[in-house]
Amino acid sequence: MIILDEPYVSRYLKETIISAGLPVLRNEMAQNQNFPDETALMDDAACIALMKENPEQKLYSNSEHALQWIAENLAFTGLPETISLFKDKAAFRRLLRPLFPDFFFREVAAEDLDTLDIRGIPKPFIIKPAVGFFSAGVHMVASDAEWEDVLLSLKRDINEHSSLFPPQVYSAATWIIEEYIPGTELAIDACFTADGEPVVLNILSHMFSSDADVDDKVYLTSKAIIREYLSPVTVLLRRIQALTGIRNFPLHIEVRVDEDGHVVPIEVNPMRFAGWCTTDIAAYAYGINVYRAYFEEKAPDWETLLADDNGDVYVILIVKPPADMLPETIGGFDYDGFAASFAHPLEMRPVDFTSYPVFGFFFAKMEGGNLQEAETFLHADLRDFIRIR
């Protein structure tokens, strides 16, 4: 069963639902998709009954907005408790303590941020909302002198993001401070089968402009990336499964790999793959339909897929306005012009930038692993493509 919700449903996901005959919760977002009459749109009672009748029923959502419906209607499945273990970053750190006993983290209530003495906290550290999404409110603090400016930014983040997402997705009531993990950051789409076996569906490398950068702008996937990290990532997922016993569960997990090859989790986003349907990049890069792979338990044949490698890299670019540009001054974005600035564009997915702080998501291929276009985008402010009111 699938729950569709804001902010975005891709055409690829919609076509998969139709071709695979997947049942969908009948809500406003699903009804707005104009599915064919034969699509199984089910009301709340029917979806709840389906989950009760079949304890092995798989559930997926494209959006964490659906977590509220799950919490209110599916308590009998145990899913809300499992989701909370992952979605609450402090609870997640407590869960992982047996695996990473020396990892430093600390919880701070929002009302205590103004009086927080950071002088004794090891630096650099990351501070972020214990329940968050889309890198909202994530900041690095490298020195005591930076704290005053970061604190002001945190307060702006609270005002800006609290109204965009439900409390199950973003909550500024509690913040977590944790040690900075140096190394390569990966974002992994994976799931657990009915037997609890982990299946890796894609591995993305998060590209940053500097060590201090925590923004979501560029993600890369390639056969070389899969080949390097598939085994250690699978080992980590097995260790998480041993702690939780989870089965029939999709997730998007972010990790850092240090210089010694240790894979340290940053966070797990439950019940979904990469947000805003950007998980669809796996179809371009490897011909993998991640939704079917999860529901039909068809694990990718990575040995065969990785056998022939021409070095191409597939990228997701998150196209955002400059941080210093007031939203009310933006009149439009030249999507066609932006896509045409790349040698091998694959797909441009516009987003309503008047409702969300992003113009859209762009897929492209970088032939032979030449990342110059991605590097240029990473440092660009995109003003040439923005129409001012």
Q: Give the pLDDT confidence of 82-93 residue by residue, as tens digits.
A: 999 998 888 899
Q: Which one-letter DSSP state was computed for residue 370? A: -
Structure tokens at 241: 């499964």
Q: Give the pLDDT confidence of 297-349 residue by residue, as tens digits.
A: 999 999 999 999 999 999 999 999 998 888 889 999 999 999 999 999 999 99
Cα–Cα distance, 279 to 273 (Å, whole number):
6
Provide CATH code, domain 310-389: 3.30.70
Dihedral angle of Cα 332, 385, 273, 124, to the nearest 10 degrees: -110
User: One-letter amino acid identity for 156?
Assistant: R
Give yes or no for a contact between 57 and 48, defined as CB atoms under 8 angstroms apart.
Answer: no
Is the pLDDT at 61 greater than 90, yes or no?
Answer: yes
Fold agreement (100-179, 310-389): no
Q: Give the pLDDT confidence of 119-161 residue by residue, as tens digits.
A: 989 899 998 887 655 556 788 898 988 988 888 888 777 666 5
Q: What is the mean pLDDT of residues 184-189?
A: 96
Bridge pairing between strands 60-61 and 2-3 = parallel
User: Regarding predicted confidence, which is higher, 45 or 108?
Assistant: 45
Boundaries of every domain in the chain: 2-85, 100-179, 310-389
Domain formed by 100-179, architecture? 2-Layer Sandwich (3.30)
pLDDT at res. 133: 52
Place of tokens 């609270």: 158
Cα–Cα distance, 223 to 285 (Å, whole number):
9
Structure tokens at 277: 């349907």
